[in-house]
Amino acid sequence: MILATYDLWAFVSENREELLDGLLNTLKVSAFAIAGAFVIGLALGAARAHRIPVVSQLTAIYVEVIRNTPILVQIFFIFYALPQLGIVFDQFTVAWLSVMIWGGAFNSENFRAGFQAVAYRYREAGYALGFAPFSTFVNVTLPIGGRIALPSSINTYISVLKNTSLMYVIGYAELTTTSLNISNLTLQTTESLTMLAIVYLTLVWSLSALIRLLESRLALPESR
Amino acid sequence: MTASEAATVRTANGEDGDGTNGAGPVVRVEGLRKSFGTNLVLDGVDVTVAAGEVLVIIGRSGSGKSTLLRCINLLEPIDEGRILLEGDEITRKGVDVSRVRQRIGMVFQQFNLFPHLTAIDNVTLAARKIRKLSREQAEQRARELLKTVGLEEKADQHPHQLSGGQQQRVAIARALMMEPHVMLFDEVTSALDPELVGEVLIVMRDLARIGMTMLVVTHEMQFAREVGDRLVFMDEGRIVEEGAPADVLDNPSDERTRRFLRRTLQLPESLEELTVNEEGVEE
């Protein structure tokens, strides 16, 4: 009965515009959040690797809180609890902000590990050439450690993209919410979920292909 | 190294316009003391290196020779004493450490070439970023330097594609690129396979011949004898003997120097006759 009425194409074509809007919102939220997670990860990872006072302790607390609480709770906290304190964001902002904060925490660990893996002797060579500490970071630690951190940070970006589907719980119309809302009305649940699986697979594969291309061009020569 | 190649290695000795050089020593270390925790590594070291002089520093591992070089390059903070570079006290408070280091070239035991950069990029990086040379200017000069160390063909190779000896020669070119007034060599052949030691020592010999001021920590006694102008022997953080290399090596006056040289230079007839204790080879 269900199989007899299964029509994936009809589901997609009849709801084309809404689904496309949902997809665009997913991409927008992901792009904001990944860019933010990159910046947060880089800055806080560097602060922790270099044990910069205060910043590095605060980062440690941030990472512990985010890593040890469910992301769903974090989203709810930003969406429902912060307004009680007078901090109100619209759904779009909650969407990218929550996954960015989540991704930034994990990414700061990726970069911390990458920077710490840079042997001190390379930094020392930088100092000996006359680079000041910050220039040594920019010209030595960052290019070497950033490359070491790349594979693990790719995984974080992929998780950020997938986690945007959790915005279903706050009703933000990204792809998952849009698709499930349609099928709740039309009962095309199987079509809806199949479509979601196919689109997310395609998105994640494209994203990882893109970053792996970047990675192969950036990788440290000896590991190419 | 031909005369024209020698000219490509520019040192500021005698040609810098700031007038600080004059006839005084390039490096002067006075009463230097340094400890790591409770371990006293340098126990009052005084040493002076004149322009164009090659000072060779020998001694057992742990005698403080490497720490002395690292203190001169301000890579280790000192506890007591002072260090002067061309008359400026570089260990005083408020000194611009990075600028001081630009006048000092350093070559390390482990080469420490940047693994993500080609040989020529390793050489040009600091000149481009610190001296703000254009890539074109920097590469032209870097190619000249790579030629003087015999590696013009390897400019576009990455460090992992080079032998240890080649990496170390690139590291020397990298240090020379900043036109240092003095070069510090910290056991630069100790990590090399024996057959690669010579190529690095030859580059250093040529550098000495064109008048570079050098402090060389080494275990290569032949180099010390032939290239060194003066030799100091360090033991337990002090300079215990100092003089012309041949004099110290052939007629050491201090018992500690004699013991060190005996162990370093005179191979026994057969290893079978030797035993070890916690001090090393039993005598």
pLDDT in the model for residue B11: 52
- Domain tally for chain A? 1
Strand partners, B57: B217, B232
pLDDT-derived band at B21, boundaries 50, 70, 90: very low
pLDDT in the model for residue A214: 83
d(CA A34, CA A150) in angstroms, rounded, equals 13
Number of H helices, E strands in chain A: 12, 0
Is residue A1 in some structural domain?
no
Look over chain B and give the mean of its residue pLDDT values, rounded to a whole number.
Answer: 89
Is residue A118 in some structural domain?
yes
Print the domain residue range for A77: 22-219
Question: Which chain A residues are within 8 Å of B183, Cβ to Cβ?
Answer: none
User: What is the average per-residue pLDDT within B243-247?
Assistant: 94
Is residue A114 in some structural domain?
yes
Q: Are residues A131 and B126, on separate chains, in Cβ contact within 8 Å? A: yes
pLDDT in the model for residue A216: 82
Quick one: tokens of B1?
Answer: 């190294």
A144's CB contacts (< 8 A; 6+ apart) are: A118, A122, A220, B114, B115, B116
> What percent of chain B has pLDDT above 90?
80
Is residue A11 in some structural domain?
no
pLDDT in the model for residue B16: 42
**The residue to which tokens 């395609």 are assigned:** A202
Q: How many CB atoms lie within 10 A of CB A61?
A: 9
Q: Are residues A129 and B73, on separate chains, in Cβ contact within 8 Å? A: no
pLDDT in the model for residue B18: 42
Structure confidence by residue, pLDDT tens digits, B132-182:
999 999 999 999 999 999 999 999 999 999 999 999 999 999 999 999 999
Is residue A17 in some structural domain?
no
pLDDT in the model for residue B20: 44
d(CA B139, CA A111) in angstroms, rounded, equals 32
User: What is the average per-residue pLDDT within B117-134?
Assistant: 96
Output the tens digit of pLDDT for each of chain A's 224 residues: 445 578 899 899 999 999 999 999 999 999 999 999 999 999 999 999 999 999 999 999 999 999 999 999 999 999 999 999 999 999 999 999 999 999 999 999 999 999 999 999 999 999 999 999 999 999 999 999 999 998 899 999 999 999 999 999 999 999 999 999 999 999 999 999 999 999 999 999 998 888 888 888 887 776 65
What CATH number is attached to the domain comprising A63?
1.10.3720.10
d(CA A43, CA A193) in angstroms, rounded, equals 38
CA distances from A183 to A20, A180, B184 (A): 15, 5, 74
Model's pTM, two decimal places? 0.86
pLDDT in the model for residue B15: 44
Q: Are residues B116 and A139, on separate chains, in Cβ contact within 8 Å? A: no
Burial of A224 (0-12, 13-18, 19+ CB in 10 A): exposed
Is residue A8 in some structural domain?
no
**Whether B161 contacts chain A with CB within 8 A:** yes
Tell which residue, B238, B190, B192, B264, has the closest CA to residue B67: B238
Q: Which chain A residue has the Cα nearest residue B123? A: A129
Hey, which residues 66-105 in chain B have their CB within 8 Å of chain A?
73, 75, 98-99, 101-102, 104-105
d(CA B242, CA A178) in angstroms, rounded, equals 84
In this complex, the residue of A128, A139, A221 whose CB is nearest that of residue B160 is A221
pLDDT in the model for residue B23: 64
Query: What is this model's ipTM?
Result: 0.88
Could you give the angle at the alpha carbon of B93 between the alpha carbons of B90 and B98, nearest 5°?
55
Is residue A192 in some structural domain?
yes
Is residue A189 in some structural domain?
yes
- Look at residue B42 and give its three-state secondary structure: strand
Q: How many CB atoms lie within 10 A of CB A210?
A: 12
